[in-house]
Amino acid sequence: MPPECQQLLRSLEQATARLADLHPQDVGEVQHALAERSRAIDAMAGWIAAEGQASRRPSPELAGHLDRDLEIGAEILVRLALDREATRLDLAKLGRERQILRSLSNTGTRKPTTIDQQG
């Protein structure tokens, strides 16, 4: 592989590895890592397109590296989707619990609107 391709591939692999190592609750870091990986993918796609226009075909070795990165990226996507769904369920549960607490606190503090014979 040409040195430029190796550098682009290394950047893509590093961005993917960084994304895989992040905790999903570090939202800012995950967004930054996703943007970094997107830039690396765009750079690699641009290089491949330029090679195609120059009638040079990328090596099978590059295809193997890209296949592995694609698999890792798909695994990361599944993990992020599962984490997002778990967060959504947690938020829905908290909303229900908050509503119950609000209902319980409102019913116990109401004062009668009329005066009875003993009060």
pLDDT digits (tens, 9 = 90+) for 35-77: 999 999 999 999 999 998 888 888 889 999 999 999 999 999 9
Residue ranges of alpha helices (H) inside the chain are 3-21, 27-53, 60-108
What is the per-residue pLDDT for 26? 86
pLDDT(85) > 90 = yes
* C-beta separation of 19 from 78 below 8 A: no
Q: Both ends of the chain: CA-CA distance in Å?
A: 92
Instruction: pLDDT band for 11, please (50, 70, 90 cuts).
Output: very high
What is the 8-class DSSP label of residue 55? T
Percent of the chain with pLDDT over 90: 67
pLDDT score, position 119: 53
Query: What number is the average pLDDT over the span 22-40?
Result: 91
Cβ atoms of 57 and 1 within 8 Å: the answer is no
Calculate mean pLDDT across residues 10-18: 95
Query: In this structure, how many other beta carbons lie within 10 angstroms of the beta carbon of residue 19?
Result: 21
d(CA 96, CA 90): 10
For residue 15, give every residue at least 6 positions away whose Cβ sits within 8 Å of its Cβ, in sequence order, or none: 33, 36, 37, 39, 40
Supply the pTM of this predicted model. 0.73
Phi and psi for 61 in degrees, rounded to 5?
A: -60, -45
